[in-house]
Chain A
Amino acid sequence: MDAQMKKGLLDACVLHILLKGDTYGYKLTQEMSGIMDASESALYPVLRRLESQGCLETYSAEHSGRLRRYYRITTEGVVRLNEYKEELTELKNIIDFITGGDEKNG
């Protein structure tokens, strides 16, 4: 898949998962691994990017004797997710068109 497209989709997936509730790195990775073929270590840069853009914020909470970092979606993150969704609808139409054409040819 195109790296730039994948980047955008990763952002969308992370924001979507966070919309359901705050979560931490390992759990987020596990949820993602079911959806997209991305290496598990690739998620950190995505989280840092979204954090720097103000789409999510972090806080630490204690868990079994050590600190665990949780991620929470911000209002701006929600706005961004909705923007992605709009764009993806457009993309979906394109995909439908392309794959539909394939069927005709095949």
Chain B
Amino acid sequence: MDERLKTFLEELKVQLAGLPELEKMEALDYYTEYVSDAVDEGVSPDEILSRLDSPEKIAAMIKAETSIRKAQSNPGLKNYSSVVKYARFSITRPISIFLFSIIIFCTYSIAFSLFLVTIAAAAGACLVFAACTYEALRMPFTYITGIISTIGIGIFLSGVLILTAYLFFILCRLFIRMSTGLIARMLRKPGRSFPEFNEDAYEKKANKSRALKAGLFIITAGLIISLSTGLPIKLFMIFNSMKPANVTMREWSYNAADIRDISMNTAHSHIRLEEGKSDKIEVSYEQSDWMDPEISDKDGKLSFKEKFNGRIPFFPLISMHENNAELTIRLPAGYNAEVISLESRGGFIWVDSANYPAEVRTYTGSIYLKPGVGEPTPSVKAVTSTGTIQVSEKDAGKKTANKTVYENVPSAGSKSIMDLETDRGSIFID
């Protein structure tokens, strides 16, 4: 065969790149056969080439035709309305119209709800990312790994939501396609139902798998960024109420004679009040790296505060979960304080010896009270909003619509008043 004809076919092969292999082969076979036939008929190479379009144009025509055929065998969103339009004209009997409108109504409703989920998940992705970025920017700048990690978590979560949205989008599209196909089959001339073809369907298909890849990439990137700094593990441990991986023991001790007033406040560490063996007031605290203790003993008042140092995102949310680190206060035997106040947002509080009048408050944690050995039963007032109250392992207290109240005021010799209150936790009195 003439060199120029060979070059023409070679060039055509190059231009057909991107088509499915079979499609490409069939096209090349056709044009090879055509050229060979023309040569056999005695047509000169110049004449043959002048009759044919350029390889670029031929390839473009074939690709256009292939994509149209794909769209046709794959009726999608765009073709849906035209099917419905066509349906209105083709069915005339009232009963068919009635059934048909029910089907259309149902398919539209289901498709619409799937579509709403898609939108919600997509909006959630934006929201989660914005919230995490906001939290990250509130962290101290010296804690750069925490900032990066929080943004990483945001990327990861939004990636997950993006994929969820994509999944529901696919479901929605699949559903519409199936119902479109069903409706088309119900009509007499399904071939005529799709007068307008979606010419760039072929290209869009490639874009879609790219979207999937991008989503997976975002998830992986976010996961690597956040995991590399260890923050997710910390969060996981807090949510599962495990002791932090690294705690530093901090201890203080005070002369009992100097302290008349004790006030302890923690975010999510447990508090334990018990009788100690020495004659001093001893405070010990297991410090995790995202909490700072603040302790002072001014004017006879011992006050402890567990303060959040900004190294964990969404702290108010997390602080509802106790993390099994403990703050322990040991009082000397026979010690008499004017006021003891114990407060924890997420932790549990144990009062092992109810010989001291105390106010005990928690938000999500439970309260355990053990009366002192050999002491008269103390006066107790206990209130919980959503939890239960158990006295000696039996349900006690009066239940009303929004809280349970238990009160015990022994007639004589009751010396201390325990005031216990929890919002979501339970109260256990031995």
Contact = CB atoms under 8 A, between A and B. Distances in A.
Mostly, the A contact residues are: helix
A90 interface: no
Given A48-B26, A49-B65, A42 B53 contact: yes
Contacts, number: 59
B62 A44 contact: yes
Interface in B33-71: 33-34, 36-38, 40-41, 51-53, 57-58, 61-62, 64-66, 68-69
A40 interface: yes
A48 B6 CA distance: 23
A29 to B, nearest CB: 7
Nearest to B195: A4
Nearest to B191: A53
A68 B38 CA distance: 13
Interface residues of B, number: 25
Contacts of B53: 39, 41-42
A44 B32 CA distance: 12
A45 B37 CA distance: 19
Nearest to B12: A41
B29 interface: yes
B34 A29 contact: yes
B30 interface: yes
A25 B30 contact: yes
A29 B149 CA distance: 67
A66 B246 CA distance: 80
Interface size class on chain A is 20 to 34
Interface string A13-46: 0000000000011110100000000011110110
Interface string B10-27: 000000000000000011
A13 B8 CA distance: 28
A64 B58 CA distance: 27
A26 B69 contact: no
B31 interface: yes
A105 interface: no
Nearest to A53: B191
A68 B31 contact: no
Contacts of A69: 29-30, 33
Nearest to B61: A45
A75 interface: no
A52 interface: yes
Given A39-B53, A53-B191, A64-B40, A45 B34 contact: no
Nearest to A45: B65
Given A41-B52, A42-B53, A49-B69, A24 B33 contact: yes
B33 A26 contact: yes
Given A44-B27, A44-B31, A69-B29, A26 B62 contact: no
A69 B36 CA distance: 12
Contacts of B41: 26
Given A48-B26, A49-B65, A25 B58 contact: no
A67 B25 CA distance: 14
Given A26-B41, A64-B40, A45 B52 contact: no
B33 A40 contact: no
B65 A40 contact: no
A69 to B, nearest CB: 6
A48 B65 contact: yes
Contact of A26 (B26, B38, B64, B65): B38
B194 to A, nearest CB: 12
A39 to B, nearest CB: 5
A24 B35 CA distance: 12
The 5 closest A-B pairs by CB, nearest first: A26-B37, A45-B65, A41-B52, A41-B53, A40-B51
11 contacts: A25-B37, A26-B34, A26-B38, A40-B34, A41-B51, A45-B62, A48-B27, A48-B62, A49-B65, A66-B36, A68-B33
Interface of B: 26-27, 29-31, 33-34, 36-38, 40-41, 51-53, 57-58, 61-62, 64-66, 68-69, 191
